[in-house]
Amino acid sequence: MKRRDFNQAALAAPFVAQATLAQAAGSPNSALLNAYYLRAHMYTSVPRQVREDLRWMADIGTSIVSIAVLEHELVTAVKNIDTICDEAAKAGLQVYAIPACWGALTAAGGVPSVFTAKNPQTWMLKQDGSPIQGLTGPVSSIHYPETFQFFCESLDALCKQFDIKGVIWDEPKGFRVDHSPRAVAALGKNAPEVEHFKATTDFHSRVNRYIKGRYPDKTICLFTQPHFPRAFSEAASRVALLDYFGADGRPWDLEEDAKWKGFGEGNESGKGKVLLGNGERLLELARQQGIKTLFLVENHNLPAVMLPALDAGLPKVLAKNVDMLVYYYYPRNIEEPERNMSIVAKHIGARFRKR
């Protein structure tokens, strides 16, 4: 079955936009369903396809659609992002933005940061003076005022141009030891790792205070990797003014994950990045901070042989009753995408679809 045929078949079920809109604005204890909708607006955007995609999401009970916004897209993709916002409103969905690769300090994009490339004076440094490298290049330090100003100005551009209801900090990358001149001046030459973590917590807290101060109605979410050291997770959970905190990972446990260790080139499984077990530790951290809980189901980068594990694991993840569940809509690098999305629709739709 072709993707468009699959969409049309799914949309044969009754669709009531007001139902999902009511869910998004429901009681504080209402669980929300959020769809990660990445790169649909890059360069060419087809309104009809966007409309079909959003209606599919709404049909299974999705309340929120989240789009990654690269730095330059605040200028180059304005019309395309507007289209998503307009069509989302018609489908009864709220739109959240994922600041993607900003300063190389956030994920969800896989491209170099324009800001970081233009501002080498802000680079995070190793002890030997060489730049710390992220996935796609150098990373900007949270200690430079230029970095904070860039985040604030970009958030202003985001919130003023688009009907964005929330912001998602996806896997913050600043929680590491930094030997840049500003970091040394602020923390000392041989500051322990915990002090660097605290400084990063403070940076994101200041950014959040800026958001809430100017746009108090915006929801702020943050999640990080559940297999990282506890000190990392604890520091991330202490970021101020978060509405939701949690983890992203595979929807299974460590026993299942161990089966996939070393499985194929580019495999993201087998590393302990799992929601069941490891991810639950982050849910507990959220509760300790009085923050609502979040899980992002990583149904991306899955070969077909792992789809039975997705099928078996999703009901167990749903049983954790997190406050916000996020899934990838037609994620990247997967075999049998229709089967992947059918599994998502079967389990998540059974839980969230409005009858």
pLDDT of 1 strictly over 80:
no
CB atoms inside a 10 Å sphere around CB 48: 9
Q: Three-state SS for 248? A: strand
Averaged pLDDT for residues 103-131: 95
Q: How many alpha carbons fall within 13 Å on the CB side of residue 197? A: 14
Backbone angles phi, psi at 129, to 5 degrees: 90, -5
Enumerate the domain spans of the chain.
3-101+145-175+201-352
What's the Rg (C-alpha) of the chain?
20
> What's residue 267's pLDDT?
82
Q: Three-state SS for 170? A: strand
Helix%, strand%, coil% for the chain, nearest 5: 45, 15, 40
Round to whole Å and give the CA distance between 119 and 90: 40
- Residue 242 falls in which region: left (phi positive, over 0), alpha (psi -120 to 50) or beta: beta
* pLDDT one-digit tens code per residue, 45-84: 899 999 999 999 999 999 999 999 999 999 999 999 999 9
CB atoms inside a 10 Å sphere around CB 265: 4
CA distances 144 to 103, 122, 184, Å, are 11, 6, 11
Share the mean pLDDT of the chain. 91
| Residue 355: pLDDT band with limits 50, 70, 90 | low
Supply the pTM of this predicted model: 0.91
Q: Three-state SS for 4? A: helix
Round to whole Å and give the CA distance between 204 and 13: 42
pLDDT of 320 strictly over 80:
yes
Averaged pLDDT for residues 73-99: 96
Is the distance from CB of 96 to CB of 33 less than 8 angstroms? no
CA distances 92 to 182, 226, 258, 323, Å, are 46, 32, 40, 19
pLDDT of 27 strictly over 50:
no
Averaged pLDDT for residues 95-106: 97
Is the distance from CB of 226 to CB of 214 less than 8 angstroms? no
Say what percent of the chain tops pLDDT 90.
84
- Residue of 234, 198, 226, 351 whose CA lies nearest to 294: 226
CA distances 153 to 102, 149, 158, 207, Å, are 12, 6, 9, 11
Which fold would CATH assign to domain 3-101+145-175+201-352?
Answer: TIM Barrel (3.20.20)
Backbone angles phi, psi at 298, to 5 degrees: -90, 85
* pLDDT one-digit tens code per residue, 220-252: 999 999 999 999 999 999 999 999 999 999 999
- Residue 254 falls in which region: left (phi positive, over 0), alpha (psi -120 to 50) or beta: alpha
Helix or strand (DSSP H, E) at 295: strand 292-297
> What's residue 339's pLDDT?
97
Q: Where are the alpha helices (DSSP H) in the chain?
A: 3-10, 17-24, 47-59, 73-76, 78-90, 114-118, 145-161, 181-187, 193-214, 230-237, 254-258, 280-288, 307-318, 337-352
Residue 130 per-residue DSSP state: P
pLDDT of 42 strictly over 90:
no
pLDDT of 36 strictly over 80:
yes
